[in-house]
Each structure stands twice: as C-alpha cells, then as structure tokens.
Amino acid sequence: MKSTGIVRKVDELGRIVLPIELRRTLGIDIKDAIEIYVDNSTIVLKKYEPTCVFCGESENVTNYKDKIVCKACIEEMKNI
C-alpha cells in the first residue's frame, strides 16, 4: 500500500474529509458511493462500481428489479 502522507482527524460525528487531490486522482465526484472494507486493522475505501450479481462484470450492466445484471448474463438467461 502506498502512503500519501496526508493525515486527517475524525470529527465529532465520525467523519473524515477526503482531500480533493485524492478524489480527482481516483475519479470520485460529489455524491459518489464509496465501499468500505476492513482488512485486519486497515480500513480500505473504494469507489463503488455496481457489478453483475451473477458473474461480477462491471461493464454493460443494467438494473432489473433492484439487482444489477450484465447484458451477457441476460442473453444467457434468454437461452435457458
């Protein structure tokens, strides 16, 4: 893992501010969803990208009944 040298304090509501430089570098815009992972004692933040519930693909996905499904899996289901 690469250190950025940036240190931020947690406020009284448990929030931290992600510096604009990091948001620009990672393509994180206002109101983007962020996934939070815990790996041992490390907190990992990742920009959320919806993926297909069947194969995990993140390209060519669509929302169907509150589930994300890719076009390839839709085509495969048509042939069942």
pLDDT in tens, 43-60: 999 988 889 999 999 899
Amino acid at 40: N
* pLDDT, tens digit, 9 for 90 and up, residues 18-46: 999 999 998 999 999 999 999 999 999 99
CATH of 1-48, one of 2.10.260.10, 3.30.530.20, 3.30.360.10, 2.130.10.10: 2.10.260.10
pTM of the model: 0.61
The full DSSP string for 23-40 is HHHHT--TT--EEEEEET
- Residue 68's pLDDT band, with cuts at 50, 70 and 90, is very high
What DSSP line would sit under 44-71, residue for residue? Answer: EEEE-----TTT---SSEEEETTEEEEH
